Amino acid sequence: MERLNSSYIEIDLSSLYYNFWQIKKYVGEKTKILMIVKSNAYGHGILPSSFLNFKTGIDMLGVANIEEAINLCKRKVKLPILILSYILPEEIPLVIKYNLRQTVGDWEMVKKLSELAQKRKKKVKIHIKIDTGMGCIGIPYKEAVEFVRKVKVLKGIEIEGIFSHFAQAEKKNKFFSLKQIQRFKKIIQELENMQIKISLRHMANSAGILNLQESHFNMIRPGLILYGLLPSNEVSYKINLKPVLSLKTKIIYLKEVEKGQSISYDRTYITTKRTKIGIIPLGYADGYRRDLSNKGEVLVCGRRVPVIGRIRMDQTILNVTNIPEIKIGDEVVVIGQQGKEKITVEEIAKKTNTIPYEIICGLSSRIRRINKEVDFKKK
Ligand SMILES: *Cc1c(COP(=O)(O)O)cnc(C)c1O
Per-residue pLDDT reduced to its tens digit, 158-192:
999 999 999 999 999 999 999 999 999 999 999 99
CA distance 358 to 337: 20
Angstrom CA distances, 230 to 77, 166, 169, stand at 27, 16, 12
Per-residue model confidence (pLDDT) at position 4: 77
Per-residue model confidence (pLDDT) at position 55: 63
Is residue 265 part of the annotated active site? The answer reads: yes
Distance 173 CA to ligand 1 centre (A): 20
Residue nearest to atom 15 of ligand 1 (CA): 84
Nearest to 84 by CA among 49, 39, 120: 39
The minimum-distance atom of ligand 1 relative to the CA of 85 is: 15
Is 83 a pocket residue for ligand 1 (Cβ < 6 Å)? no
Per-residue model confidence (pLDDT) at position 372: 86
AA letter at 26? Y
Neighbouring-strand partners of residue 202: 163, 219
Per-residue model confidence (pLDDT) at position 378: 47
Query: Phi/psi zone of residue 66: left (φ > 0), alpha (ψ -120 to 50 degrees), beta?
Result: alpha
> In the chain, which residues have pLDDT < 50?
378-379
| Beta strand segments in 228-366, E | 245-250, 253-257, 262-263, 269-270, 275-280, 297-300, 303-306, 316-319, 331-338, 341-343
C-alpha 51, offset from chain centre: 17
Which one of 142, 152, 265, 372 is the catalytic residue? Answer: 265
Q: What is the DSSP letter of 173?
A: -
Per-residue model confidence (pLDDT) at position 234: 82
Is 36 a pocket residue for ligand 1 (Cβ < 6 Å)? yes
Contact 356, 230 (CB under 8 A): yes
Per-residue model confidence (pLDDT) at position 1: 61
Is residue 30 part of the annotated active site? The answer reads: no
Is 223 a pocket residue for ligand 1 (Cβ < 6 Å)? yes
Per-residue model confidence (pLDDT) at position 5: 83
